[in-house]
């Protein structure tokens, strides 16, 4: 049995731009909470939160980790999420499992692009939010400028709750704005009193009756103020700003933990989670109060050949005991859960029971994926799936050996189960296995893990662009296939007419034979010959699309004609007609939305112009600009890397397929020549 109740639990997701001090704060919290006997550090590989070999090598978080510590009567469950946009899927997973997001800001660097993005993701997830300004002891900290930027870039509801005493090299700790000590220097005391007034004014606004009393000069008691502050934070009316330097002995860490434990909402302080009944699809609520039936949602999966399959889940209602059954709505059946664990970094700690608000792990549930619901079979429900951005980068992969070829499919599938932004597809047109990720760095790490964890080696190259071929005019073609080899010969004579069809209509075949010049039993062979040629392509080996083909004349031989002969004749007649019908290449064109700081707008628009992009709209989001454009897929094969370089890592983009369009003639000539050279090399081999 857990030593705590639902009312004592505080779930906190630490998110923010890379190097904002998330992991250092979590490690320091575990040390001060007595979980760790020494202060873990990322730099020397002793972090309890960053334990993966890739994280230790690169000195920053890559995976979401879950740890917990008791703090002054509260059970703090801390989710340490990666800060770089390459691994944003892990942060989104964390935000889907908590009541509170602690948005971390490096006090010297300030609010960066990914800070704003994660702030927005937390808002969409409906979490309460805090802003934690860590590393207050660094050089070049400007506290007043920092807090002004936070209010301007994130929200004007941000209010200072832990104010610093000094900044940079003169930083000496923090002071609680709500409960300041009596012996503050006069200048600091005056400032803290002003900050307290701002905070209290914002807090009392959540209750009209209390606000009226406050405006009439009545003092609001500490207990009532505490209750209202928790409500204000839970509803997003107030966002506390906490200053600290987590690594310093007197850097404000304990005060920050005190504030989080005291005012972050418990599972009982927020609205019940919405779900859908499996039978009937009616909307229902699954709250943490009372003895509601068990329901939980998986927010992270780990498929590892050494650790096994682990499913991390958040309990939204009820309780789950070890050695019990859980119902899986996705497959419509129950599975036995032998053991339940709570995670302390990579360490699995068995527990007899988990309650509403808890975050736990079960092993060996093979039919479970991220976003899946676990629930009571007597009251089956489904939670809405977590929403992740589309992966932007792609690589084609090929196994290096026969052994790798046998392992690559299942291994890539397990990788995709563990990472919401790592996806695998098989391109039927190019016959390639393509892996997709948020960036080239994300894919590099994923493929490194493929080798380290699953012993599968691959070679990579950019995916082939799925060009297509079509025509721009009507044309006719005739071919007579006549061959005498002794005995029965081969004879088939086909006349074809081809014409363009509307974009996206594909292929239409018409039988316009009159007078039986080609017997009906051979017409399907003609269509088959045309289709085979269209699949192989004529110009560059790409499929032919959006074309209408009619067979309207021909001749046959009573003895020598056959389906094979008419198929060959149709293939050649099609090639002849195609070459005379203004053939052209089509390329996929994408809709792209690029978000960059305003200072990079000139570089971005210049880049898009050189890449055949066409800007269709712009929006200003404060100091951020959002540019919408159309651009050929071939021009953005390396865009994630190019954008990162262009914007110093502060830009991001989203892309989706728009349509196919004609490739300019000079570019098409290069593509066709390259394809013909490749075919010649294949024939020589």
- C-alpha dihedral, 158 to 161 to 166 to 169, nearest 10°: -70
Pick the CATH number of 273-382 from 2.40.128.110, 1.10.3720.10, 2.40.30.10, 3.60.15.10: 2.40.30.10
Helix 113-125 with 88-95: angle, nearest 10 deg: 30
pLDDT, residue 46, reads 83
Pick the CATH number of 469-581 from 3.60.15.10, 3.30.230.10, 3.40.190.10, 3.40.50.720: 3.30.230.10
**For residue 29, is pLDDT > 80?**
yes
Percentage of the chain with pLDDT > 70?
Answer: 98
pLDDT in tens, 491-548: 999 999 999 999 888 899 999 999 899 999 999 999 999 999 999 999 999 999 999 9
pLDDT, residue 384, reads 95
Task: Report DSSP state, residue 221.
Answer: P
pLDDT, residue 123, reads 95
Q: What is the DSSP string of 475-528?
A: EEEEEEEEE--SSS-EEEEEEEEEEE--TT--EEEEE---TTSS-GGGHHHHHH
Residue from 162, 100, 165, 164 nearest 128 by CA: 100
- Mean pLDDT for the stretch of residues 393-403: 91
Per-residue pLDDT band at 399 (split at 50, 70, 90): very high
The residue extents of the domains of the chain are 6-269, 273-382, 393-461, 469-581, 585-666
pLDDT, residue 39, reads 85
Let me know: does 571 contact 530? Beta carbons within 8 Å: yes
**For residue 434, is pLDDT > 90?**
yes
**For residue 70, is pLDDT > 60?**
yes
**For residue 1, is pLDDT > 60?**
no
- Mean pLDDT for the stretch of residues 613-617: 95
Longest CA–CA span in the chain (Å) reads 114
Q: What is the DSSP string of 9-73?
A: EEEEEEEESTTSSHHHHHHHHHHHTTSSSS---TTTT--SS--SHHHHHHTS--S-EEEEEEETT
Q: State the Cα angle at 571 between 566 and 574, rounded to 5°.
A: 120
Place of tokens 């954008």: 643
Give how far the C-alpha of residue 627 lies from the chain's centroid of Cα atoms, to the nearest Å. 21
**For residue 120, is pLDDT > 80?**
yes
pLDDT, residue 291, reads 81
pLDDT, residue 637, reads 82
Architecture of domain 585-666 in CATH?
2-Layer Sandwich (3.30)
pLDDT in tens, 243-276: 999 999 999 999 999 999 999 999 999 999 999 9
97-106, 317-326, 674-683: least confident range? 674-683
Let me know: does 116 contact 624? Beta carbons within 8 Å: yes
Mean pLDDT of the chain: 92
pLDDT, residue 23, reads 93
d(CA 29, CA 23) in angstroms, rounded, equals 10
128-142, 296-310, 568-582: least confident range? 296-310
Same fold, 393-461 and 585-666: yes
34-38, 190-194, 418-422: least confident range? 34-38
pLDDT, residue 425, reads 92
Per-residue pLDDT band at 116 (split at 50, 70, 90): confident
Let me know: does 317 contact 356? Beta carbons within 8 Å: yes
- Mean pLDDT for the stretch of residues 364-391: 92
Let me know: does 177 contact 162? Beta carbons within 8 Å: yes
- Mean pLDDT for the stretch of residues 670-677: 90
pLDDT, residue 304, reads 73
pLDDT, residue 312, reads 97
d(CA 375, CA 11) in angstroms, rounded, equals 20
pLDDT, residue 69, reads 96
Let me know: does 595 contact 625? Beta carbons within 8 Å: yes
pLDDT in tens, 151-207: 998 999 999 999 999 999 999 999 999 999 888 888 889 999 999 999 999 999 999
Q: Which CATH topology does 6-269 take?
A: Rossmann fold (3.40.50)
Architecture of domain 393-461 in CATH?
2-Layer Sandwich (3.30)
Q: Which residue has the higher pLDDT, 429 or 181?
A: 181
- Secondary structure of 308-351 as H, E, C letters: EEEEEEEEEECEEECCEEEEECCCCEEEEECCEEEEECCEEEEE
**For residue 388, is pLDDT > 80?**
yes
Per-residue pLDDT band at 2 (split at 50, 70, 90): low
pTM: 0.85
Q: Which residue has the higher pLDDT, 21 or 60?
A: 21
**For residue 289, is pLDDT > 90?**
no
Let me know: does 510 contact 472? Beta carbons within 8 Å: no
């Amino acid at each position: 049995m857990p030593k705590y109740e639902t009312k004592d639990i505080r779930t906190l997701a630490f998110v923010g731009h890379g190097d904002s001090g998330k992991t250092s704060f979590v490690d320091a919290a575990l040390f001060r909470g007595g979980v760790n006997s020494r202060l873990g550090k990322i730099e020397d590989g002793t972090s309890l939160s960053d334990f993966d070999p890739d994280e230790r090598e690169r000195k920053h978080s890559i995976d979401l980790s879950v740890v917990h510590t008791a703090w002054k009567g509260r059970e703090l469950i801390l989710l340490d999420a990666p800060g770089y946009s390459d691994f944003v899927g892990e942060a989104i997973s964390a935000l889907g499992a908590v009541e509170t997001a602690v948005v971390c800001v490096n006090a010297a660097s300030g609010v960066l692009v990914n800070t704003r993005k994660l702030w927005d993701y937390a808002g969409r997830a409906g979490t309460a939010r805090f802003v934690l300004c860590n590393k207050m002891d660094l050089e070049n900290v400007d506290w007043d400028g920092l807090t002004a930027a936070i209010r301007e870039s994130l929200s004007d509801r941000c209010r200072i709750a832990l104010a610093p005493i000094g900044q940079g090299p003169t930083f000496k700790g923090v002071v609680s704005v709500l409960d300041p000590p009596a012996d503050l220097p006069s200048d600091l005391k005056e400032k803290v009193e002003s900050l307290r007034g701002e905070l209290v004014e914002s807090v009392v606004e959540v209750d009209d009756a209390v606000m009226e009393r406050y405006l009439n000069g009545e003092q609001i008691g500490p207990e009532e103020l505490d209750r209202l502050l928790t409500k204000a934070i839970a509803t997003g009316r107030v966002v506390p700003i906490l200053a600290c330097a987590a690594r310093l002995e007197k850097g404000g860490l304990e005060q920050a933990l005190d504030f989080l434990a005291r005012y972050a909402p418990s599972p009982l302080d927020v609205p019940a989670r919405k779900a859908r009944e499996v039978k009937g699809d009616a909307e229902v609520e699954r709250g943490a109060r009372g003895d509601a039936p068990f329901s939980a949602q998986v927010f992270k999966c780990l498929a590892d050949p050494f650790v096994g399959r682990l499913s991390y889940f958040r309990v939204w209602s009820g309780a789950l005991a070890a050695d019990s059954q859980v119902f899986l709505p996705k497959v419509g059946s129950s599975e036995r859960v032998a053991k339940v664990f709570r995670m302390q970094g990579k360490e699995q700690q068995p527990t007899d029971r988990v309650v509403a608000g808890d975050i736990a792990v079960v092993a060996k549930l093979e039919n479970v994926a991220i976003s899946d619901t676990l629930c009571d079979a007597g009251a089956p429900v489904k939670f809405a799936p977590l929403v992740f951005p589309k992966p932007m980068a792609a690589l084609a992969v090929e196994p290096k050996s026969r052994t790798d070829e046998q392992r690559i499919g299942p291994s890539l599938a397990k990788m995709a189960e563990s990472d919401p932004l790592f996806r695998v597809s098989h391109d039927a047109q190019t016959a390639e296995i393509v892996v997709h990720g948020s960036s080239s760095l994300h894919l590099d790490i994923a493929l490194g893990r493929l080798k380290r964890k699953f012993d599968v080696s691959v070679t990579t190259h950019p995916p082939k662009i799925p060009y297509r071929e079509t025509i721009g005019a009507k044309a006719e073609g005739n071919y007579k296939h006549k061959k005498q080899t002794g005995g029965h010969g081969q004879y088939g004579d086909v006349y074809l007419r081809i014409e363009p069809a509307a974009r996206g209509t594909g292929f239409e075949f018409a039988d316009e034979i009159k007078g039986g010049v080609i017997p009906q039993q051979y017409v399907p062979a003609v269509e088959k010959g045309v289709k085979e040629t269209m699949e192989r392509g004529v110009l560059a080996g790409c499929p032919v699309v959006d074309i209408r083909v009619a067979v309207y004349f021909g001749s046959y031989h009573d003895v020598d004609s056959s389906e094979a002969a008419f198929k060959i004749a149709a293939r050649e007649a099609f090639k002849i007609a195609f070459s005379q019908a203004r053939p052209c290449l089509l390329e996929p064109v994408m809709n792209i939305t690029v978000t960059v700081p305003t200072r990079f707008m000139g570089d971005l628009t210049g880049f898009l112009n050189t890449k055949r992009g066409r800007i269709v709209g712009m929006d200003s989001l404060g100091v951020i600009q959002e540019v919408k454009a159309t651009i050929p897929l071939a021009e953005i094969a390396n865009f994630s890397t190019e954008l990162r370089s262009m914007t110093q890592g502060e830009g991001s983009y989203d892309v989706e397929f728009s349509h196919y369009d004609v490739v300019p003639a000079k570019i098409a000539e290069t593509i066709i020549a390259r394809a013909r050279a490749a075919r010649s090399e294949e024939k020589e081999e």
